[in-house]
Amino acid sequence: QVHLAESGGGSVQAGGSLRLSCAATIYTPNTYWLGWFRQFPGKEREGVASFYTGDGRTAYADSVKGRFVISPDNAENTVALQMNDLKPEDTAMYYCAAAASAWGRPLAPSVYTSWGQGIQVTVSS
């Protein structure tokens, strides 16, 4: 059984920063991918960044490279997404998700089997 809880969303002006956090309660397996995804109105969900708890591997979408950083947070089984230099086009609902294996595609929503409820991020110009 997997439970994911997101926190930290909100509103910010362009150029600002926000930090999202995902707290995962996962009993098995003991290593897994935790990913952040976002969904724009009327669009498919897309991968933003992901982190593998086994060895710290990360993956980023081209649109956020150099601006977003995914890393373990202070609490156990928690991953944070630090979002810097935010742009209005980053406005979306953001979701945390977990996968036992990414099958070589750590940013593909289809490989993730457990999802959080989502949290809104709004960037104003």
Cα–Cα separations (whole angstroms), residue 10 to 6, 94, 109, 112, 116: 12, 11, 23, 25, 16
Over residues 77-107, the pLDDT tens digits come to 889 999 999 999 999 999 999 999 999 999 9
Q: Please report the pLDDT score of residue 2 as a whole number.
A: 85
pLDDT, tens digit (0-9, with 9 covering 90-100), for 31-73: 899 999 999 999 999 999 999 999 999 999 999 999 999 999 8
> Kind of pairing, strands 92-99 and 33-39?
antiparallel
Mean pLDDT throughout 7-27? 94
